[in-house]
């Protein structure tokens, strides 16, 4: 990248800079005229100057006259246009109209220039950010060991931001303001050479002193930038390492560390301001110092008769125009230095010696030919940046389509070999060739499409499971999107900022690479691959627990309702009838809490959240209106009394308290006090807090679970009335806070599973949950809804870095992604560490079976760095690593004899 900001700006925005300058120069005379006009209006028609106070006097409006030498015209003037003679009033109108017109024109010019400059700045900013991002994509792997993601983010986002504002002015300001200053200076010099020299002297003094004062300023602003960036880096670390902070009680250490950083930044900024304002003060002083000299030196000269008064006045008048351009220049210079430092500090971080050349990442639209031949390493050696030897003198030769097991202890060289093969690690000696071509010379389009790599700690992007699976099939846009996704303007702006023109909204998925003809076959293939890695069931479960928007997918919502009806049909007969009590608006649900029975819906948001329901105003109002508050208050007292009676005298850590769902052990004394306080009291006279506390108890009550015998048919009937009233009178502003259970309506706030069930699984029946789950599964299968549920599971968002999935699920997903692109060679590097040996072995066997060539489709070769050496027997060939080199190679069954290293490793595992 260009080392100097100005070179960068000039190279990429020459034409724009010149055009801005031209427009500014064209606009200038109009600006001056707009300043002149008010004087003319006041002096002319208003004050009656220029002879306009005489009755019947007229003035020529729009008269254009130039002074010319007498040899051209005898009158000494050349009249371009004689003008329109107007009387005093008309002249006033005309001048005022002209003034208004000029104001508009000048305003429009200003608007145009500012927009233009702004756009140029934004374009350049976009170009700069894009090229910085591009550089991150081309950094060598080793670079990532020393950079912090949050520092990179703050550089690209914040540090380059002020450049945008500056770039538009980069050339216009110095040229234009410098020009004005020069004109003013020349004018002063023309009026009086001595005074001119005085003014020039002061300006030159400014030009010498100020840059000296600024040196410290530059240093400070560089330090400020580095400190702020380091702060951003630390904030990122704080977030990433939050677990360690908690488990080590390091939060106060972190606080102190942050405070010391903030303190450093504070003092840097404080000094910066002090110096900045001192320079400002000096500038202002020098600007005023010149007139002081004029008055003194000029005054003396006038008194002594060496200079006439008129010249002095003219010089002082001319000087008026000088400070403002000078100040503009100084300000410009200040921001120039600022952004130049920012620019160089940023691009320094984005320089690297071993940047991946752009041609390695060329977007290739054609099909990349498959890799064939042998994978052969010769004299391969890798030394890391600390000088430790990871791999030495490693030589082997295996067919790419073969199934190779790589066995070795941790850091025996097995992992490094697989990383070199995937070009994630560059060899220090020798190399690995595939089909006679060195891996390190292969482009990413070859490696990324023909090889698959699954590492020990795969990264998933914040997107759906489906998007993560298809990530390995999206290399270039293959088919045009439906309709126009970008306007011509968007495209041309992309071009102007040198951004890529590849369309993110186009169809990127490479069906051919996945061996399918289209979307439908791809879906089948996805299921197949997920079954291979044993993830299909998990995704189905995610789908069951997921929710859909019935408005955007009415068809599925309707099918779920069909499943609900089907399940209800089955619930009528044993054994299911016992296991589930469906939500029926006309019946009390005995296996739901009393509060749930009143609400009879899923709370959306916090308004009707169970924990705070007892203090919800509308809810209490309904209870009061139905008179239930008295009854429930008594019930609350009864529960509290029973609990206190049962649990009194037990220590707080007694295991029995774990079974107490109504209150915590430490709340018991409080409840005792409430009971004492509320004895014989009327509900209306009670303190709100006491009522809330007591109401909480019956709200959580479930008869079959708590078995206190508190529910009666009469109470149930009255609760049903309250339920009806609650939904009928629900105020409009609360309408979105709850989705009622309605047997014939899809409940958007609940999961698919709860929608199919729409009821409660009964308490106290052994195995009820799994039986109901099985029944739901059976209904979904019979109605052929499994695919739809699966689809909902595929749309599950994996969270930042895939953190909503378990680490095992992430690894499985990563393997599924690699399998989906059908690589010529699939490299697996110590994945599935969290699986036990037996499950690992099953996984290996399943994957090997799945990648075998079948029905005319080519399979994938394997290069699997095994976690569990005994799985090696599934493979055709084994490489046994020890001390950074291959210690044994051959067919696993032949190698696995007593005395061999492989046998020893299997023995020990």
Partner 1 sequence: MAGLQDEVDVLRRISLFANIEPARLKLLAFTSDRVTFSAGQELFHEGDAGDAAYVIIDGAVDVLKDTDDGEQLLVTLKKNAFVGDIAILCDVPRTATVRAVERIETLKIRKEHFLRLLIEFPEMAVEVTRVLAQRLQKTTDDLTACREELSHTQGG
Binding region for partner 1 (CB under 8 A) out of 34-42, 51-59, 172-180, 652-660: 652-660
What is the smallest separation between the CB atom of 710 and partner 1, expressed in angstroms?
Answer: 9
Q: Which of 33, 139, 647, 740 binds partner 1 (CB under 8 A)?
A: 647
Contacts 24+ apart (CB under 8 A), 319-325: 319/184, 319/188, 319/199, 319/290, 319/291, 319/294, 321/180, 321/183, 321/184, 321/187, 322/181, 322/184, 322/185, 322/188, 322/199, 322/203, 322/290, 323/287, 325/177, 325/178, 325/180, 325/181, 325/184
Q: Which of 554, 569, 704, 853 binds partner 1 (CB under 8 A)?
A: 704
What is the smallest separation between the CB atom of 613 and partner 1, expressed in angstroms?
Answer: 24
Check the CA dihedral 704-706-708-711 and report its sign. Answer: negative
Site string for partner 1, 766-795 (x = CB under 8 A): xx----------------------------
What is the smallest separation between the CB atom of 760 and partner 1, expressed in angstroms?
Answer: 15
Specify the residue, 409 or 708, whose C-beta has the smaller distance to partner 1.
Answer: 708
What is the smallest separation between the CB atom of 643 and partner 1, expressed in angstroms?
Answer: 9
Q: Are 756 and 781 in contact (CB under 8 A)?
A: no
Specify the residue, 303 or 766, whose C-beta has the smaller distance to partner 1.
Answer: 766
64-67/389-399 β-pairing: unpaired
Q: Which of 56, 369, 518, 655 binds partner 1 (CB under 8 A)?
A: 655
What is the smallest separation between the CB atom of 590 and partner 1, expressed in angstroms?
Answer: 9
Binding to partner 1 (CB under 8 A) within 547-576 occurs at 575
Q: Which of 252, 659, 712, 908 binds partner 1 (CB under 8 A)?
A: 659
What is the smallest separation between the CB atom of 642 and partner 1, expressed in angstroms?
Answer: 8
Q: Which of 153, 708, 778, 845 binds partner 1 (CB under 8 A)?
A: 708
Closest by CA position to 640, among listed 570, 565, 572, 690 = 690
Specify the residue, 315 or 768, whose C-beta has the smaller distance to partner 1.
Answer: 768
Specify the residue, 643 or 789, whose C-beta has the smaller distance to partner 1.
Answer: 643
- Cβ-in-10-Å burial (0-12, 13-18, 19+) of 331 comes to middle
Specify the residue, 130 or 763, whose C-beta has the smaller distance to partner 1.
Answer: 763
What is the smallest separation between the CB atom of 768 and partner 1, expressed in angstroms?
Answer: 9
Q: Which of 482, 611, 645, 744 binds partner 1 (CB under 8 A)?
A: 645
What is the smallest separation between the CB atom of 647 and partner 1, expressed in angstroms?
Answer: 7
Residues in contact with partner 1, total (CB under 8 A)? Answer: 23
Q: Which of 348, 492, 656, 721 binds partner 1 (CB under 8 A)?
A: 656
Location of structure tokens 């084994």: 878
What 3-state class would DSSP assign to 585?
coil
CA distance 7 to 9: 5
What is the smallest separation between the CB atom of 692 and partner 1, expressed in angstroms?
Answer: 24
Closest by CA position to 594, among listed 693, 699, 692 = 699
CA distance 417 to 425: 9
Q: If phi over 0 gives left and psi between -120 and 50 gives alpha, with beta otherwise, what is residue 884?
A: left
Residue 30's alpha-carbon distances to 78, 401, 889, in angstroms, are 21, 78, 87
CA atoms within 13 A on the CB side of 452: 29
Site string for partner 1, 660-699 (x = CB under 8 A): x---------------------------------------
Specify the residue, 687 or 769, whose C-beta has the smaller distance to partner 1.
Answer: 769
Q: Are 433 and 772 in contact (CB under 8 A)?
A: no
Q: Are 172 and 332 in contact (CB under 8 A)?
A: no
CA distance 706 to 687: 28
Q: Which of 65, 703, 876, 882 binds partner 1 (CB under 8 A)?
A: 703
855 lies in the site for partner 1, by CB under 8 A: no
Binding to partner 1 (CB under 8 A) within 153-212 occurs at none
CB atoms < 10 A from the CB of 673, how many?
12
Specify the residue, 200 or 660, whose C-beta has the smaller distance to partner 1.
Answer: 660
Site string for partner 1, 752-771 (x = CB under 8 A): -----------xxxxx----
Task: Quote the tokens at residue 417.
Answer: 């070999």
Q: Which of 654, 769, 803, 891 binds partner 1 (CB under 8 A)?
A: 654
Q: DSSP states of 154-185 as a string?
A: HIIIIITHHHHHHHTTTTHHHHHHHHHHHHHH
Closest by CA position to 568, among listed 579, 557, 558 = 579
What is the smallest separation between the CB atom of 803 and partner 1, expressed in angstroms?
Answer: 32
**Residues of the shown chain interacting with partner 1 in the complex, contacts defined by CB under 8 A:** 575, 578, 645-647, 650, 654-656, 659-660, 703-709, 763-767
């Amino acid at each position: 990248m260009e080392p100097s900001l100005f070179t960068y700006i000039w190279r990429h925005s020459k034409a724009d800079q010149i055009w801005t300058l031209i427009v500014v120069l064209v606009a200038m005379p109009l600006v001056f005229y707009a300043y002149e006009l008010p004087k003319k209006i006041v002096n002319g028609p208003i004050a009656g100057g220029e002879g306009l106070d005489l009755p019947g006097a007229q003035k020529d409006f729009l008269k254009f006259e130039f002074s010319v030498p007498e040899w051209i015209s005898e009158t000494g003037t050349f009249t371009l246009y004689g003008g329109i003679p107007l009387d005093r009033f008309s002249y006033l109108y005309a001048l005022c109209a002209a003034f208004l017109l000029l104001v508009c024109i000048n305003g429009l010019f200003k608007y145009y220039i500012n927009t233009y400059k702004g756009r140029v700045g934004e374009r350049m900013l976009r170009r700069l950010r894009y090229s910085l991002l591009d550089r991150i994509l081309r950094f060598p792997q080793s670079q990532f060991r020393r950079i912090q993601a949050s520092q990179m983010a703050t550089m690209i986002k914040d540090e380059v931001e002020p450049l945008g504002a500056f770039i538009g002015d980069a050339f216009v300001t110095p040229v234009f303001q410098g020009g004005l200053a020069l004109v003013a200076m020349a004018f002063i010099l023309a009026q009086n050479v001595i005074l001119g020299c005085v003014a020039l002297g002061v300006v030159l003094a400014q030009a010498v002193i100020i840059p000296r004062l600024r040196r410290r300023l530059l240093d400070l602003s560089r330090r400020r930038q580095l400190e702020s960036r380091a702060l951003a880096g630390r904030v990122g670390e704080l977030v990433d390492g939050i677990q360690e902070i908690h488990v080590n009680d390091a939060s106060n250490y972190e606080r102190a560390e942050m405070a010391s950083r903030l303190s450093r930044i504070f003092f840097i900024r404080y000094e910066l301001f002090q110096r900045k304002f001192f320079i400002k003060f000096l500038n202002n002083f020098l600007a005023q110092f010149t007139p002081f000299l004029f008055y003194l030196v000029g005054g003396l000269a006038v008194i002594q008769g060496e200079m006439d008064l008129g010249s002095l006045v003219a010089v002082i008048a001319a000087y008026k125009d000088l400070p403002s351009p000078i100040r503009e220049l100084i300000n410009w210079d200040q921001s120039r230095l600022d952004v130049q430092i920012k620019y160089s500090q940023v691009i320094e971080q984005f320089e690297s010696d071993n940047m991946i050349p752009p041609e390695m990442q060329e977007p290739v639209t054609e099909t990349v030919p498959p890799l064939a031949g042998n994978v052969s390493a010769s004299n391969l050696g890798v030394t890391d940046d600390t000088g430790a030897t990871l791999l030495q003198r490693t030589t082997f030769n295996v067919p790419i389509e073969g199934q190779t097991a790589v066995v070795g202890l941790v850091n025996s060289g097995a992992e490094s070999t697989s990383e070199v093969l995937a070009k994630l690690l560059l060899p220090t000696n020798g190399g690995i060739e595939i089909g006679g071509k060195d891996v390190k010379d292969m482009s990413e389009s070859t490696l990324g499409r023909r090889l698959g790599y699954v590492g020990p700690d795969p990264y998933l992007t914040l997107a759906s499971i489906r998007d993560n699976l298809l990530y390995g099939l999206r290399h270039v846009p293959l088919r045009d999107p439906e309709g126009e996704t970008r306007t011509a303007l968007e495209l041309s702006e992309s071009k102007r900022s040198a951004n890529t023109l590849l369309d993110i909204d186009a169809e990127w998925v490479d069906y051919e690479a996945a061996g399918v003809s289209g979307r439908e076959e791809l879906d089948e293939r996805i299921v197949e691959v997920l079954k291979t890695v044993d993830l299909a069931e998990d995704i189905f479960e995610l789908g069951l627990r997921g929710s859909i928007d019935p408005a955007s997918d009415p068809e599925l919502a309707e099918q779920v309702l069909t499943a609900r009806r089907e399940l209800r049909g089955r619930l009528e007969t044993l054994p299911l009838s016992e296991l589930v009590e469906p939500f029926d608006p006309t019946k009390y649900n005995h296996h739901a809490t009393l509060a749930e029975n009143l609400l009879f819906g899923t709370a959306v948001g916090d308004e009707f959240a169970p924990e705070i329901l007892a203090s919800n105003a509308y809810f209490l109002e309904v209870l009061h209106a139905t008179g239930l508050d008295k009854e429930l208050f008594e019930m609350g007292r009864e529960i509290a009394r029973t609990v206190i009676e049962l649990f009194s005298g037990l220590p707080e850590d007694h295991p029995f308290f774990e079974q107490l769902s109504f209150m915590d052990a430490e709340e018991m004394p409080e409840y005792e006090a409430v009971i004492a306080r509320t004895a014989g009291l009327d509900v209306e006279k009670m303190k709100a807090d006491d009522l809330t506390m007591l109401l909480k108890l019956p709200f959580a009550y479930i008869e079959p679970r708590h078995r206190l015998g508190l529910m009666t048919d009469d109470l149930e009937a009255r609760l049903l009335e309250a339920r009806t009233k609650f939904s009928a009178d629900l105020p409009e502003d609360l309408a979105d806070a709850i989705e009622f259970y309605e047997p014939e309506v899809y409940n958007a706030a609940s999961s698919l599973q709860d929608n199919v069930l729409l009821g409660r699984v009964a308490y106290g029946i052994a195995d009820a949950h799994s039986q109901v789950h099985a029944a739901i599964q059976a209904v979904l299968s019979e109605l052929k809804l499994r695919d739809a549920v699966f689809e909902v599971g595929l749309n599950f968002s994996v969270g930042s870095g895939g953190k909503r999935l378990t680490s095992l699920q992430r690894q499985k997903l990563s393997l599924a992604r690699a399998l989906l692109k059908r690589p010529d060679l699939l490299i697996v590097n110590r994945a599935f560490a969290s699986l036990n040996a037996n499950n690992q072995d099953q996984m290996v066997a399943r994957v090997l079976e799945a990648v075998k060539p079948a029905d005319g489709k080519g399979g994938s070769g394997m290069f699997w760095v095994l976690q569990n050496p005994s799985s090696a027997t599934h493979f055709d060939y084994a490489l046994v690593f020890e001390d950074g080199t291959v210690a044994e190679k051959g067919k696993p069954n032949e190698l696995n004899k007593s005395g061999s290293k492989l046998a020893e490793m299997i023995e020990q595992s």
